[in-house]
Amino acid sequence: MEVTKLALREKQKIRLIGRLDIKGPRLIKGIHLEGLRPVGDPFDFAQMYYNEGIDELIYIDVVASLYERSLKADLVNTATEHCFIPVVAGGGIRSILDAQKLMKAGADKVALNTAAVRSPLLLADLVKKLGSQSVVASIEAKQSGENDWEVYTESGREPSGINVIDWARKVELMGVGEILLTSIDKEGTGCGFDIGLARSVVRAVSIPVIISGGFGSLSHLQPVLETGISGIAVADALHFHKCSISDIKAAISAAGYLVRGHYT
């Protein structure tokens, strides 16, 4: 028993991340990356999650690329004022300058999707400038075949024709520190994660993969943890109080995985 405990202690923890989809000043929540249902003030929710023990926060302006604008640095500034945990910021980042503005405002990492797909070398440039640990590749994927997923851009609206495994390998090659993987099919549904997608991408790369989209009940955790993901991003279930952060962490721990703040 003691040996098992020790062995467990050395494993890396599963990171529980609060995902906040932003439009303008609002926290919103869509389903299948569609819909702008307002949830409330993003900072109130972020502070609540911070106080309850969330490990990290992601702010994504989900309509930035669509509206041809970027996540406002002001928002990141306010978001990080009283939140002393890592913050990822993304949404319409198209240049090194865009990324630097957000980092200067307090973001620890920047996340890119649309601009990266259009120009993968931008990722490499950002990695060179900011360091790989500061660059996250945000991948939106939709199932296109039994074991195939296609990469989408512009908030799940434009099919790219690119296979998700090829793209995941490409972003790793560009040097990004980790992947934020969102299932368009599952996100906002609360019906469980896309296990096949998670498994396929984790197997294809050697960098951490954070899975996002579909969490709705504690029973969804075991299957996704088994795929080898490094972290879980949750939005819907937290915003609408379907699960608490401590319940989720307790369930991860009970499933035999480590989380910050919990020990077996």
Partner 1 sequence: MKVGIVDFGFGNLKSLERALSSAGFKNLNIIDNGTELHNFDLIFLPGVGVYSEASEKLKHTGLGKAVKSFIRNGGGIVGICLGMQLFSECGNEIVKSDGLALIEGEVKNMKNLPFRKKPLIPLVNWMPVKFKRKHEFYCDLNEIDGKEFYFIHSYYFRPTCEDYLAATYRLNGVDVPAIVGRGNIIGLQFHPEKSGLVGLKLLSLLLNYFKGKL
Partner 2 sequence: MTKINKYGLPLEVKFCKKCTMSNQRPSSTVEFKNNQDIKKVPIHFDEKGVCDACNFAEKKKTINWEDREQSLRDLCDRFRRTDGRYDVVVPGSGGKDSIVAAHVLKYKYNMNPILVTWPPAIYTKIGRFNFEKWLESGFANYTYHQNKRVHKILTQQAFLNLCHPFQPFILGQKNLAPKMSVLLDVPLVIFGENEAEYGNAIADNEKPTRDQKYFSATDQLRDIYLGGLSTQELMGKYKFSLADLEAYLPVNPNKLAEVGTEVHYLGYYMKWHPQETYYYSVENTDFQPNFHRTEGSFSKYSSLDDKIDWLHYYTTYIKFGLGRATYDSSQEIRNGDLTREEGIALVKRYDGEFPQQYLEDCLHYMEISKEQFLDTIEKFRSTHLWEDRKDQQVLKNPIWTEISSRGSN
The runs of H, that is alpha helices, within 61-192 are: 73-79, 96-104, 114-118, 121-130, 164-174
**How many Å apart are CA 126 and CA 174, to the nearest integer?**
9
Residue whose CB is less far from partner 1, 9 or 69? 9
21 is catalytic: yes
68 is catalytic: no
Question: What's the Cα-to-Cα distance from 87 to each of 17, 58, 120, 162, 190, rounded to whole Å?
Answer: 10, 6, 23, 29, 24
| Residue 72 binds which of partner 1, partner 2, none (CB < 5-8 A, kind-dependent) | none
Contact code string over 201-240 relative to partner 2, x by CB under 8 A:
----------------------------------------
- Is residue 159 near partner 2 by the rule CB under 8 A? yes
- Is residue 68 near partner 2 by the rule CB under 8 A? yes
Of 49-57, 150-158, 164-172, 248-256, the window that binds partner 1 (rule: CB under 8 A) is: 49-57
- Is residue 193 near partner 1 by the rule CB under 8 A? no
**How many Å apart are CA 126 and CA 110, to the nearest integer?**
9
Closest Cα to residue 62, out of 96, 35, 98? 35
Among candidate residues 56, 98, 140, 194, the one labeled active-site is: 140
Residues 99-158 that bind partner 1 (CB under 8 A): 103-106, 108, 130-134
Q: Per the structure block, which two tokens stand in for 93?
A: 């980042």
Hey, what amino acid is at 159?
P
Query: Where are the extended beta strands (E) located within 158-252?
Result: 158-163, 178-183, 209-212, 231-234
Nearest 5°: the CA angle 127, 132, 136 is 90
Query: Which spans of this chain sit near partner 1 (rule: CB under 8 A)?
Result: 9-13, 15, 50, 53, 55, 77, 80-82, 84-86, 103-106, 108, 130-134, 177-178, 206-208, 230, 260-261
Interface residues with partner 2 (CB under 8 A) are 24, 31-37, 63, 66-69, 142, 152, 154, 156-159, 184, 188-189
